[in-house]
Amino acid sequence: MGVLMRAWGRDMKVVMLQFIKHTTANFGEQRAAQKMGITVRAMGDGFTWRSQDLDASADLARALWEDAKEVIAAGEFDLVILDEFTYPMHYGWLPVEDVVEALKARPEMQHVIITGRHAPEALVEYADLVTEMNVVKHPYDAGIKAQPGIEF
């Protein structure tokens, strides 16, 4: 969210495509973006390790990737954030080679940020910047549930 805010603050056109958050999600980052006029599309079905139909989630991820490729290729946005996008690749739902090829073909001055854990090695090798976040301590470990405004 930090890069999104910096880009918006510099009058860059920004879009965030959320691959896991359900289309009906209404989290804090979505509310803030809406107030700022930033396009955020929650495009997923909320799939997690508890999903009942992973085949449907995989089909949706593939369809959403086709939409994302169009957004990238159109060049309308200076910054495209593909939120939680590493998971469909990690699960084998999307070919990493297809993702890397789409990134190579993007408009020259367009920035693409991909978030999520378990980034495939080919994606890491292609990327200009890779950051890995690791929990050292979290309130959940002490029995404190996710809090509005902090975790969502």
- The pLDDT tens digits for 27-76 are 888 889 889 999 998 877 776 666 778 888 899 999 999 999 999 999 99
pTM over 0.75: yes
In which domain, by residue range, is 60 found? 2-126
The CA–CA distances, whole Å, from 148 to 28, 29, 145 equal 8, 11, 10
Q: Is residue 32 part of a domain?
A: yes
Q: Is residue 97 part of a domain?
A: yes
Distance between CA atoms of 121 and 43, rounded to whole angstroms?
25
Q: Is residue 135 part of a domain?
A: no
Supply the pLDDT for residue 48: 67
CATH code of the domain covering residue 96: 3.40.50.300
Residues 133-151: tens digit of each pLDDT? 999 999 999 999 999 888 8
Q: Is residue 10 part of a domain?
A: yes
Q: Is residue 141 part of a domain?
A: no
Number of domain units in the chain:
1
Q: Is residue 132 part of a domain?
A: no
Q: For residue 7, which phi and psi values (nearest 5 degrees)? A: -60, -45
Q: Is residue 85 part of a domain?
A: yes
The whole-number average pLDDT for the span 96-118 is: 97
Q: Is residue 39 part of a domain?
A: yes
Residue 126: closest CA among 109, 108, 94, 102: 102
